[in-house]
């Protein structure tokens, strides 16, 4: 049988042709569509078991084999996953004709080609390992789980060569770089593929990549089609976190991209301040809320910092108080708060400052007022990455014995939600802020016993 002649030009320009004809690989239709994309910035939401690492492997091998002195960096959320992806590339290469003729160096994390090109695997937990590199192609696996600090480092590495960045992942929470990359207004070319897109064409018929019976089993393992886990991992939808206190819809409705931030008070406006104070490694957050119209509360300024001394923190709080002349400053009493409140009152007696005592029973009503304000769309907050992350990650968990709710950030800080809630409480928008909120038996509805919230303002946990 005559040896099949391959087109050199097509091998260079067509990664699908390269994979199927030169590497003898079988790709499903979803993988082909991603590989054929010529964009410099690509973000692909793909189902679990879609073959994401396989796509990266083909892309990396094709780029290095068809370009001289080309540098590819593979990034994953952990060292283990980074090595697994690298092993996928290595196994493809070892099963092809490239290995004997083109690979000049091979280690557990580096492959070098005779044309000077290189594939290197780096875990995403160490962004500093990317600093100073010049990269032609950066492939970020499970990008939804890689820290945002990594992307700040990645962008400069591709500038001089006008390189490419490819993000691929199942969705996680509705925050972070991968979430932003998947939005309509991003610079990324976006793909959203479920297993409906993962099929082979054989004799004009669609043959699924994964047996439908296996997918059905996984659906029920995840808790059914409506479960957040199934929605994320197989339908590729950004969802609320399990136990999320604030719904994603309310977060999206409350956060405003073009909300102006101001450095000082406007004439005839009324302001309050909510402050969560901390020293050393934890963060201090100061929120200035315009409460002139109690049906339209607006966060007009917020500060978030750490590493400052108590005197420096008080200076920042006093400076903001001088700029906005708040009718009330409400501060978290926990930790160093009590000491700082006493210091603040003694040194700046002209500013009305109060402390808030967080307990197992006081925190739920406080945070519920913030949630009610968001539910009823009377609160606007700047759409800042850090604010979004902390709101999305703020979760509740019920103690099985005491039935108390624990509210805290899951995998993120919660200083911003607390400062926001303190500011809403300081505004007095709900009247008697001491009126208790009771946990009812109907799906844990929280409702005010004397002063009901605005229409539709019940809090569903």
If one compares 443 and 72, the residue with the highest pLDDT of the two is 72
Question: Lowest-confidence range among 18-32, 254-268, 387-401, 445-459?
Answer: 445-459
Q: Is residue 436's pLDDT more than 70? A: no
Domain boundaries, the chain: 8-233, 248-448
* E strands present in 58-155: 71-76, 103-106, 110-113, 118-123, 137-141
> Where is mean pLDDT largest: 219-228, 279-288, 362-371, 437-446?
362-371
Q: Is residue 451's pLDDT more than 60? A: no
Per-residue pLDDT band at 251 (split at 50, 70, 90): very high
- For 101-112, the pLDDT digits (tens) are 788 888 878 889
- Give me the pLDDT at residue 136, please: 93
If one compares 438 and 19, the residue with the highest pLDDT of the two is 19
DSSP characters over 132-180? T---SEEEEETGGGS-HHHHHHHHHHTTTTT-EEEEEE---BS-SHHHH
Per-residue pLDDT band at 68 (split at 50, 70, 90): very high
- Give me the pLDDT at residue 338, please: 58
**379-382 and 255-256 beta bridge pairing:** parallel
Per-residue pLDDT band at 443 (split at 50, 70, 90): very low
- For 279-336, the pLDDT digits (tens) are 767 899 999 999 999 999 999 999 999 888 888 888 899 899 999 999 999 998 775 6
Per the CB < 8 A criterion, the answer to whether 395 and 408 are in contact is yes
Q: Is residue 456's pLDDT more than 60? A: no
Q: Report d(CA 294, CA 382) in Å as an integer.
A: 18
If one compares 417 and 357, the residue with the highest pLDDT of the two is 417
- For 419-430, the pLDDT digits (tens) are 999 999 999 998
Sign of CA dihedral 113, 117, 122, 124: negative
Q: Report d(CA 423, CA 271) in Å as an integer.
A: 9
Considering the segment(s) 248-448 as one domain, its CATH architecture is 2-Layer Sandwich (3.30)
Task: CATH number for 8-233: choose from 3.40.710.10, 3.30.465.10, 3.20.20.70, 3.40.50.300.
Answer: 3.40.50.300
CB-facing half-sphere around the CA of 16: CA atoms within 13 A: 12
Per-residue pLDDT band at 455 (split at 50, 70, 90): very low
CB-facing half-sphere around the CA of 382: CA atoms within 13 A: 18
Q: Is residue 434's pLDDT more than 60? A: no
Sign of CA dihedral 379, 385, 386, 389: positive
- Give me the pLDDT at residue 405, please: 76
* Average pLDDT value for the chain: 83
pTM for the whole structure: 0.68
- For 167-223, the pLDDT digits (tens) are 999 988 777 889 889 988 899 999 999 999 999 998 889 999 999 999 999 888 888
Q: Is residue 409's pLDDT more than 70? A: yes
- Give me the pLDDT at residue 403, please: 66
């Amino acid at each position: 049988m005559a040896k099949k002649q391959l087109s050199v030009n097509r091998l260079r320009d067509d990664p699908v042709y390269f994979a199927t004809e030169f590497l003898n690989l079988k790709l499903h239709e979803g993988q082909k569509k991603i590989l054929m994309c010529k964009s410099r910035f690509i973000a692909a939401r793909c189902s679990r078991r879609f073959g994401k690492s396989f796509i990266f492997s083909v892309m990396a091998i094709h780029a290095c084999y068809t370009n001289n002195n080309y540098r590819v960096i593979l990034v994953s959320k952990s060292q283990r996953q980074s090595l697994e992806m690298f092993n996928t590339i290595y196994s493809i290469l070892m099963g092809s004709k490239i290995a004997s003729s083109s690979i000049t160096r091979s280690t557990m994390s580096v492959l070098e080609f005779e044309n000077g090109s290189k594939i290197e695997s780096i875990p995403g937990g160490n962004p500093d390992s990317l600093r100073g590199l010049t990269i032609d192609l950066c492939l970020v696996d499970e990008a939804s789980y890689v820290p945002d600090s990594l992307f700040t480092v990645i962008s400069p590495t591709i500038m001089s060569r006008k390189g490419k960045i490819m993000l691929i992942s199942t969705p996680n929470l509705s925050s972070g770089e991968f979430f932003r990359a998947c939005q309509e207004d991003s610079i990324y070319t976006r793909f959203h593929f479920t297993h409906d897109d993962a099929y082979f064409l054989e004799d004009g018929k669609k043959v699924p990549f994964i047996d439908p019976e296996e997918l059905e089993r996984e659906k029920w393992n995840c808790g059914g089609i409506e479960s957040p886990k199934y929605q994320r991992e197989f339908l590729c939808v950004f969802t609320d976190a399990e136990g999320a206190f604030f719904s994603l819809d309310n977060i999206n409705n409350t956060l405003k991209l073009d909300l102006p931030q101001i450095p000082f008070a406007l004439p005839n406006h009324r302001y309050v301040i909510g402050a969560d104070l901390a020293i050393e490694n934890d963060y201090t957050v100061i929120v200035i809320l315009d409460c002139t119209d109690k049906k339209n509360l607006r966060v007009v300024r917020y500060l978030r910092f750490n590493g400052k001394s108590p005197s420096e923190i008080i200076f920042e709080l006093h400076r903001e108080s001088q700029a906005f002349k708040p009718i009330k400053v409400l501060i978290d009493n926990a930790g160093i708060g009590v000491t700082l409140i006493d210091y603040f009152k003694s040194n700046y007696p002209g500013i009305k400052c109060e402390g808030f005592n967080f307990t197992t029973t006081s925190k739920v009503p406080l945070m519920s007022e913030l949630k009610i304000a968001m539910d009823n769309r009377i609160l606007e907050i700047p759409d800042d990455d850090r604010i979004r992350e902390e709101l999305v990650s703020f979760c509740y968990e019920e103690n099985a014995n005491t039935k108390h709710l624990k509210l805290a950030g899951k995998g993120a800080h919660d200083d911003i939600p607390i400062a926001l809630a303190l500011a809403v409480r300081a505004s007095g928008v709900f009247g008697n802020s001491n009126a208790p909120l009771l946990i009812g038996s109907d799906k844990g509805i929280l409702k005010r016993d004397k002063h009901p919230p605005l229409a539709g303002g019940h809090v569903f946990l």
